Structure 1
Amino acid sequence: MGDMLANVLVNVASDYYNLEKKVQNLKRKVELLSCQESDMVARLREEELHPGKRRKSVVKYWLSEVVSKQKEFESLEAKVNQNSPISRVTLAKRADEMIEEVTGLLDQGIFSEGVVLDFSETIEEKFVTVEWRGQAFKENLEKVRMSLLGNEVSSIGIYGMGGVGKTTLAQCIYNELKNETSFCSNIFWFTVSQDLNIPKLQNDIGKALNLDLSGEDDKHKRAAKLGWALERKKRFVLILDDVWTPFLLQRIGISPSLHGFKMIVISRSLEVCRNMECQKYLKVEVLSNEEAWKLFMNKLSYVNRLPPKVEEIAREVVKKCAGLPLAIITMAGSLRGVIDIYDWRDALEDLKESCVGQDVMEDEVFPILLCSFNRLRDPMLKRCFLYCSLYPEDHGILRHELISNFISEGLMEKRRSRQAYLDQGHKILNKLENVCLLERCETLQELGVKMHDLIRDVALKITKDDYMVKAGLQLKEIPEEQEWKEGLVKVSLMWNRIEGISRVTSPKCPKLSTLILRSNPLKLVLDSFFLQMRGLHVLNLSHTEIEYLPSSISNLAELNALLLSRCYKLMFVPPLGNLKALKELDISNTVIKEIPQGVESLTNLKCLDTIGSRIVKISSGILQGLSLLQRVTLPRLMTIPIEEVTGLKQLEEIQGKFGNVHDFNIFMKSQPRDGQLNIYNIQIGESFPYLYGIGLGKMITFGIDSLKKGERGTDEITLPRNIERVHFYRCGLCSCLFDDIQQLNNAIELKHCYVGNEVGIEFIVRLSFEKELTVEEEQQSRLMPLHYLESLCLENLPNFIGLIWWEVAPTVAPVPHGHFSHLRSLTISYCRKIKKLLPRSLVQNLYNLEELSVNSCAKMEEIIGDDESDGGLSAESNTNITLPRLKFLQLINLLELKSICKGTIICHSIVGIRMKSITKVRKVPLFLLPLNGQPSPPPSLKDIKLWEKDKGWWESLEWDQPNANSVLHPFLDYVWNARMLQS
């Protein structure tokens, strides 16, 4: 026992006195281990440059143990330096243990069997993707693949609504790129998700690169290490899925300019793709009807066709899915194996009755689409989005109409001017389009938007307690009284077949702020109907057949907007003096004959629309008191009393008729200098109704005798600088348009000009250049309105002889390059003196011309002729002329026309040619492209319509190219009715 105790004491003493020696021994071994670690890391870097090489798990473990022992030694050494007598023995024992552990790591670090595994011969990791691929899917796949393989595009943004198949497309792209040897299998996929976490994303990328970042807290060093690792990959593709919030790639360690770097960003938002600096964008659209059906049948797993009755129902089910792949796959999965027709009917009925449909649809589809709404963040965007659900399913909505409704409803942030509201509205719609909650669509009038059916279902689900929407359902009666819940905020019954409101006495809806009954054949509304709707802010009865408004409307004290446009039978509106909150009154296109009683006291009124009504006079003082008016439209039957509008300092939009130029000038001079009319359609004097009825824009029409000498006095005409469209109709113009109206020379935004029935007009513009222009003079000419003019229509001008009058001697006088260079449409009709339409030097400017129409000009001899200055002796008289965008050429009733052009006209974009009674022309100078040694028709040509009586003339024409007549023969269409030439 004593010997044992003695040995223990000796060992303790040895540990106590030899601690420093043991620590020094351990330090040498740790330093040797660090050197071995450096060699190992260098070896791994070299090995992993080769495709398919991955470090062994045992190597990963060894490296982690080395790091661990290094940290432990640093801790041990620090404690030894504290020189605590109590712990010296314990520390010495730990030093002995670590010496053994480090020695083991040194022996293990040789790795004679190698440090990496070779996976180059094994199957690459790939996504399990869909087997069914429609045509659009295949086209998108190929577009992205080719872009990534090329050198021009390094980053692509793939966007579209939730559930449309963006991720599926990207997974297929991932698999395709795995087969491409050019990227050495360096295809990396990372899901970002809604809550962007840069450190986590760095860690994920680090793991894919076998780079351990767990021990590095400094964000800059983490990014530097990642950047270094990626740079060594030479060529790689980074796919970022489900990106909701844009971020700088440099934050995670990626330089976009890195050679060989390619990136795909997948998002629901175009804005996110833009902010991620993608160079190319691809929107994934919903499926076509046929592709939707094929996908449904594929997922339904039916070997044979469905029974006819079941197929009919199934197609209705697919239609309700509105082309959204996620919805189609979900519905197909829920109906897989269902045979009984009763089950199919029930499924369809369930879809029709509920917002989203069966539980499986609600569980799978609704949450995904709801995410897009929740991510809007901005309450204003949410309000405007939900408002769109008040329209019928699959209904295109005009942008300007929707924005006007946003203003009426007070959905947007407050702005000082109406133009600012309009700008804000367009910004909102653009954002909703960019995140794929709205779709852009073409309407008959202008660009519009619409909601995808399932997106609309989501909106209705969100608003089910606040909105009652029964729009476009062909209802003949308004909903039953029990459906009018007390908590309703908005009710839309638009686009139905409701003829009268008599069944429901008075719905109790104290919170109701919006009631939309527009586009119904509504004739009658009971007076009691509005009694319990005292909180109503917007009442829309537009496009109905109502004749009289109920008197109870006079008591809707909180009403902001009363919309009665296109109530073509409306004759009477009750007194409105109590509606002190009213900001918008629209009685346009009604048969109302007087401004409603009490309007003069509506001091908050900002919009008053009466155009198209029967009002012929406004009583003195009515408009003067409405100082906040921003928009006024007045019927053409009345002349604007100048004293009524000169005090309207907030006016931004006006449509109406001034009696003469003097009153118009007074009005223009009364406008604030720092402000400017943004939208206007002003007529001066009398004119044709169709010229007045074009609609709001930036347009002024000078009517009968309004510019006649003696009528306008000595005043210069005060035109708005932003005028875009100007019409002259029998107004009394003199010989040269731009001389007569000097202010046109400052109208650099002028795009459309019409001149009709003017006896005095001879030219459009006078040029007096006697030498070629300098660069400065050329640039100055581009500031003239003729540079921006897009359409010019000249009709019934008996003394008109040419577009340009030259005030020079017969020397070189070229048309300045800026003149008419934006012209897209040129129409000349019933101008009986003009002999030559276009001088050759002018044609070189017409590279944007799309339509050229010349009709009934009795003395017209040439369409394109020589310049006046060369006397017809130019060496270039017979050279080719190119009109690269010309689509339609119409030459009608030109009995003296001898030449269309000396030489040949090259216009590969031509779509249609119309010719009648030009029988003195011996050659149609259309150049036909040679194909295999033979002339071929222009690729865009659809038809050549000729007057039936001119068949012999056509067949006798001379052609520069052999077989030209036979080549064009399939396109000939002989017509006997002059109207058919216009189609």
Structure 2
Amino acid sequence: MDKLLEFGAQILPNVVAWLCPNLEKKTVTLRRDIRLLTNRKDDIDEELQNAGKKLRREVEHWSNRVENIKNEFETWEQVQQSSRFYHVFKRQKLAEQLERMIEEVTELVERRDFPGGLFLEVNESVGQLSLTSQPNGQAFQQNFDDIWTSLMDANVVSIGIYGMGGVGKTTLAMRVHDKLLNEPTFSDHVYWVTVSQEFSIYKLQTDIAQALKLNFSCGSDEKKRAAQLFQEFQKKKRFVLILDDVWKRIDAEKIGIPSKMDGSKLVITSRSEEVCHLMCCKNIIKVNTLSEQKALDLFLKTLDCGEPSLEVKEICKKMVNRCGGLPLALITLAASMRGVIDIHEWNDALEGLKESCLGRADMKDEVLPILSYSYHRLGDKRLKGCFLYCSLYPEDFPFSRVELIGHFILEELMERRLSRQAEVNQGHAILNQLMRACLLESNSNGTLKMHDLVREMAIVITKDNPRYMVKAGLYLKELPEEQEWTEDLDKVSLMRNSIEKISPGTSPKCPSLSTLILRGNPLRLIPDCFFTQMCGLRTLDLSETKIESLPNSISDLEKLEALSLTHCSELVSVPSLEKLKELRYLELSFTSVEEVPQGMESLTNLKHLSLLCYRLKMIPTGTLDRLAHLQQLELPCHLDVPIEEVEKLKQLEVLNCRLNSVRDLNRLINSRRIDKPLYLYNITVGSQEKDKLRERRGPYNFLYIGEPNKFLYIGEKDLMESSLDTDKNMLPQDILSLCFHSSGLSGCLLDEFPTLSSARDLKACEIMVEDKLECIMRLEEEQQSREVPFQSLERLDLTELPNLIGLFKWEAVAAPLPPGTFSCLQSLCIYECGKIKKVFPQSLVHNFHNLEYLYVEGCAQMEEIIEDDKNEGADITFPRLKGFYLMDLPQVKSICKGKMFCDSIRHIALGGIKNIKEFPLYLPLLDDGQLSHPPRLASIYVTGDKEWWESLEWPHHNAKNVLQHLVKFELDDLDASE
């Protein structure tokens, strides 16, 4: 295994570059395309509510495909970001999946017409699609064409896009950005940076450096940073920099942006034409508001109420006039009026809108009063509180649903429910309501964000009641002036700034302050007096800081309910928590603390305790006994967790820890049948020695991304002894991911863990370094169990199993496989399993009809990939197979006896299989009778002897000539820059 890891580390960059050139560029493009596509789908879905069934049927399939590809990409992106796979083919699978999604999204984007004369129209201001009887969107397209022409003009260096807030400038610029990513002229050097109203040179330099993936080597000196940025841009030679939401003139020289470099292009969006002129933009394009009729059409479409009465329509027209043709205002206002039927309520809403616009004359932008009115129409105090909380994040910050809901719970912004899961469900419902009201937006990766104007409106509201001070993401180097810390402040967010220290003697007088967020600052020291006048503080977030120790004054914050110190990697000690009786949330994960904080046993109201601290020496006996209200518990795997104490936590719903043995696991499963079931868990079973082995070899936790984390890792060396107990080894019925590593498995997996037969949610299973395991399941002539094992399994990895004879062991001749077994399997990997002689027989191929990736390597006795158990030499079909990899199989003589039909095959990798004389892949014929390779086949990677490849026989005599341009020999020859 160590040899494999070393080999993988050496060749992985080349392989990934070969399999999917420009991976990052393609990911960005696809993300934006899916975002646009989702907007189109939402518009279409709304429009079709009023259309006939025939029209709905015509686009239903298209709409479903959009939703499916969006969900698939979100899952893909999470897997790609967290993936640390050690098998090359697993990384290749991600690359292949990306390529397929790009193809499908391209098809969906380009499909602009449907049967029956139904067209997809580009809204000329917001760039979204809607249904109409004729194609439209000329204004949007004209603006786009003008910008594109300017970008291709060597004489135009800078371009300005201006218009009112909410008119669609950013959407237009995004469309340009997306197309530029596929434009070879700029060699992939296309960068997007959001500037925002509270801009500073330092902040903008930092954001541009992040876009360029540049690490400053000159500290905080702005002149030196500018010089380094300038040099980095000069290396690019040809580039496009898009600065979105510019409020005032930016001195390009001070920032480090070349202003007149050949091949460089600067694009800015701004609400001010004057700013475009001050920035010396060569071409300036105005994005106009919607005409009166188009504004009304958009309003009614968003309202989604069919054909309104004449009275209601007249009121709608008056409301539309108030919106000034601004799409954001129209959509938000209409969303707030959905479901209103009574004419009196419509009239009341119109009067309220008039008062809102008059009463908010201090708001600089015309759209803000409309947005403010939509906020007030939420009515529900919970919705309002949750919405305003979102404004504490920096502008354009992507916040996750899980994190937001956790904060809603902590801040008591929602109703209290009996369980954590019920509260999470309530949180999702609230976020969905805010999205339906168009006050929150969804990113393509599943995170949420606020439109900058919506956030601006929220901040205006929180300058009054409730009273917030929000200075997040501004790269401030110091705390705000003391006079800004008023006594009536309720929440303060200084998240993601550059504050390194708080001056001695600083002690803001904020008795009403309930929430203070200093997360993401390089803060090292807080003076003891800082918290002395914050007696009402309930939430303190110091996570992701460089704090080394906390001031003792924290011990006196007796109303504190939440203390977050996660990822404070330099924090080594925490003062006594004995007085903090109200504390419900304590997060110390990824700190350097070595001891449990003093007074922990006094925190009897604690619901969330996260101690994933890898220097923590011990948890004193009896500590958990006193925390009876715990709902979530996270402990590091190097510490023993007494099962007796965990069993007493009757309210527990989320668990991340290590248990000593399978016996303890059985006890936990049995106890949860009586108490609340765990709905999230990540449990390691095994001794500390096995856990150290796991750390040395690298992480094998391949959680099934996209669904709740329900993962179990079993590395218990005395598994065989525990199986002698009267109780059978058990597994949670809802488990998603399962890994066995040196656990002592023997004989048949299903015999050891019979509950696997009924684990219907299991998606991924990995078994490695199990010396005594012989098979996965035993097939008898009459299956006693009615269960269908592995019916949902999508991934199966078998690694270093020296006694494995096969997936199946037959107890009777020709015993059938239960229908549905392995029917969802997409990926099968068999690595260094010395005794296995076949993967599976030809008679069971139909059970594997969803297989996409088959990887077999290092199996010394493998003789045949697909066994011809019926001696018929029949053809076989893998309708979804994309990757086929055979490596280092010295005894294999045949892949299969008949032809192998794989129309979806994309990549083939072969090496160390010299005894194979014939490759059975069937090649299709074109309409003109000419032989062709499978339509999706992109590459054949061959390692080893080139003469062996030349000697291979094929079902067609001309096959080698047809495939020659796809063949790549020797991994070292790959050019990683491709």
Structure 1 length as normaliser, TM-score? 0.63
SS of structure 2 residue aligned to 1:763: strand
Within-5 A mapping of 1:373-384: 373-384=375-386
CA distance in 1, matches of 2:493, 2:46: 46
How many angstroms does 1:756 deviate by?
0.9
Q: Is it true that 1:866 corresponds to 2:868 in the alignment?
A: yes
Q: Find the counterpart in structure 1 of residue 486 from structure 2.
A: 485
Q: Find the counterpart in structure 1 of residue 932 from structure 2.
A: 936
Q: Find the counterpart in structure 2 of residue 273 from structure 1.
A: none
1:266 to 1:929, Cα distance in 2 relative to 1, 3 A: closer
Aligned AA (2:748): C
Q: Find the counterpart in structure 1 of residue 797 from structure 2.
A: 793
How many angstroms does 1:864 deviate by?
1.6
Q: How many residues align?
A: 701
Aligned AA (1:575): S
CA distance in 2, matches of 1:700, 1:136: 37
- For structure 2, the 5+ residue unaligned runs are 1-35, 64-115, 124-128, 133-137, 175-243, 248-267, 286-327, 330-359
CA distance in 1, matches of 2:387, 2:606: 27
Contact preservation (8 Å) 1:683, 1:692: no
CA distance in 2, matches of 1:261, 1:307: 42
1:680 to 1:379, Cα distance in 2 relative to 1, 3 A: same
Q: Is it true that 1:599 corresponds to 2:600 in the alignment?
A: yes
Q: Find the counterpart in structure 1 of residue 455 from structure 2.
A: 456
Aligned AA (1:404): G
Q: Is it true that 1:439 corresponds to 2:441 in the alignment?
A: yes
Q: Is it true that 1:733 corresponds to 2:581 in the alignment?
A: no
Deviation track 1:695-718 (CA, whole Å, cap 9, x = no partner) reads 782222221413122686443224
How many angstroms does 1:336 deviate by?
6.4
Q: Is it true that 1:857 corresponds to 2:859 in the alignment?
A: yes
CA distance in 2, matches of 1:474, 1:316: 27
1:297 to 1:266, Cα distance in 2 relative to 1, 3 A: closer
Contact preservation (8 Å) 1:144, 1:156: no
Aligned AA (2:639): M
SS of structure 2 residue aligned to 1:748: coil
Q: Is it true that 1:389 corresponds to 2:391 in the alignment?
A: yes
Aligned AA (2:918): K
How many angstroms does 1:977 deviate by?
4.8
CA distance in 1, matches of 2:639, 2:463: 47
Aligned AA (1:667): L
Q: Find the counterpart in structure 2 of residue 110 from structure 1.
A: none
Within-5 A mapping of 1:552-591: 552-591=553-592
- Aligned counterpart for 2:895 among listed residues 881, 892, 900: 900
Contact preservation (8 Å) 2:120, 2:131: no
CA distance in 2, matches of 1:929, 1:360: 71
CA distance in 2, matches of 1:935, 1:142: 45
How many angstroms does 1:640 deviate by?
0.5
Q: Which moved more, 1:652-661 or 1:968-977?
A: 968-977
Q: Find the counterpart in structure 2 of residue 628 from structure 1.
A: 629
Within-5 A mapping of 1:218-617: 295=143, 311=159, 321-323=169-171, 341=278, 362-370=364-372, 372-443=374-445, 447-465=446-464, 466-502=467-503, 505-617=506-618
Q: Which has the higher contact order (CA 8 A, sep 6+)?
A: 2
How many angstroms does 1:584 deviate by?
0.7
Q: Find the counterpart in structure 1 of residue 646 from structure 2.
A: 645
Q: Find the counterpart in structure 2 of residue 823 from structure 1.
A: 825
Deviation track 1:567-597 (CA, whole Å, cap 9, x = no partner) reads 1111100001111111011111111111101
Aligned AA (2:760): I
How many angstroms does 1:683 deviate by?
1.7
SS of structure 1 residue aligned to 2:806: coil
How many angstroms does 1:450 deviate by?
2.4
Q: Find the counterpart in structure 2 of residue 106 from structure 1.
A: none
CA distance in 2, matches of 1:741, 1:536: 50
CA distance in 2, matches of 1:587, 1:750: 31
Deviation track 1:410-437 (CA, whole Å, cap 9, x = no partner) reads 2222111111122222233333334443
CA distance in 2, matches of 1:901, 1:819: 22
Q: Find the counterpart in structure 1 of residue 667 from structure 2.
A: 666
Q: Find the counterpart in structure 1 of residue 735 from structure 2.
A: 723
How many angstroms does 1:564 deviate by?
1.0
1:457 to 1:946, Cα distance in 2 relative to 1, 3 A: farther
Q: Find the counterpart in structure 1 of residue 108 from structure 2.
A: none
Aligned AA (1:501): I
How many angstroms does 1:666 deviate by?
3.0
How many angstroms does 1:633 deviate by?
0.9
SS of structure 2 residue aligned to 1:709: helix
CA distance in 1, matches of 2:672, 2:388: 38
- Aligned counterpart for 1:946 among listed residues 942, 948, 954: 942
How many angstroms does 1:604 deviate by?
0.5
Contact preservation (8 Å) 1:747, 1:784: no
CA distance in 2, matches of 1:692, 1:712: 28
SS of structure 2 residue aligned to 1:539: strand
Contact preservation (8 Å) 1:313, 1:344: no
1:556 to 1:807, Cα distance in 2 relative to 1, 3 A: same
SS of structure 2 residue aligned to 1:525: coil
1:740 to 1:437, Cα distance in 2 relative to 1, 3 A: same
SS of structure 2 residue aligned to 1:844: helix
Deviation track 1:56-106 (CA, whole Å, cap 9, x = no partner) reads xxxxxxxxxxxxxxxxxxxxxxxxxxxxxxxxxxxxxxxxxxxxxxxxxxx
Deviation track 1:171-208 (CA, whole Å, cap 9, x = no partner) reads xxxxxxxxxxxxxxxxxxxxxxxxxxxxxxxxxxxxxx
Contact preservation (8 Å) 1:494, 1:520: yes
CA distance in 1, matches of 2:421, 2:365: 43
CA distance in 2, matches of 1:382, 1:808: 66
Within-5 A mapping of 1:126-141: none
SS of structure 2 residue aligned to 1:750: coil
CA distance in 2, matches of 1:591, 1:428: 36
SS of structure 2 residue aligned to 1:524: coil
Aligned AA (2:931): P
1:927 to 1:423, Cα distance in 2 relative to 1, 3 A: farther
Q: Is it true that 1:807 corresponds to 2:811 in the alignment?
A: yes
Q: Is it true that 1:745 corresponds to 2:757 in the alignment?
A: yes
CA distance in 1, matches of 2:719, 2:476: 54
Contact preservation (8 Å) 2:842, 2:868: yes
SS of structure 2 residue aligned to 1:454: helix
1:721 to 1:137, Cα distance in 2 relative to 1, 3 A: closer
1:627 to 1:152, Cα distance in 2 relative to 1, 3 A: same
- For structure 1, the 5+ residue unaligned runs are 1-134, 161-259, 268-280, 285-289, 349-354
Contact preservation (8 Å) 2:663, 2:722: no
Deviation track 1:846-875 (CA, whole Å, cap 9, x = no partner) reads 2222222112111112222223xx3xx23x
How many angstroms does 1:372 deviate by?
4.5
SS of structure 1 residue aligned to 2:442: strand
SS of structure 2 residue aligned to 1:884: coil
Contact preservation (8 Å) 1:292, 1:323: no
Contact preservation (8 Å) 1:299, 1:333: no
What fraction of aligned residue pairs are identical, expressed as a percent?
A: 43
Contact preservation (8 Å) 1:322, 1:453: no
Aligned AA (2:790): L
SS of structure 1 residue aligned to 2:455: helix
How many angstroms does 1:399 deviate by?
2.4
CA distance in 2, matches of 1:584, 1:141: 38
Contact preservation (8 Å) 2:650, 2:675: no
Q: Find the counterpart in structure 2 of residue 890 from structure 1.
A: 885
CA distance in 2, matches of 1:941, 1:262: 35
Contact preservation (8 Å) 1:862, 1:899: yes
CA distance in 1, matches of 2:394, 2:921: 50
Deviation track 1:586-631 (CA, whole Å, cap 9, x = no partner) reads 1111111111011101111001111233223211221101110111
Contact preservation (8 Å) 1:512, 1:536: yes
Q: Is it true that 1:970 corresponds to 2:965 in the alignment?
A: yes
Aligned AA (1:930): L
Larger Rg belongs to: 1
1:342 to 1:755, Cα distance in 2 relative to 1, 3 A: closer
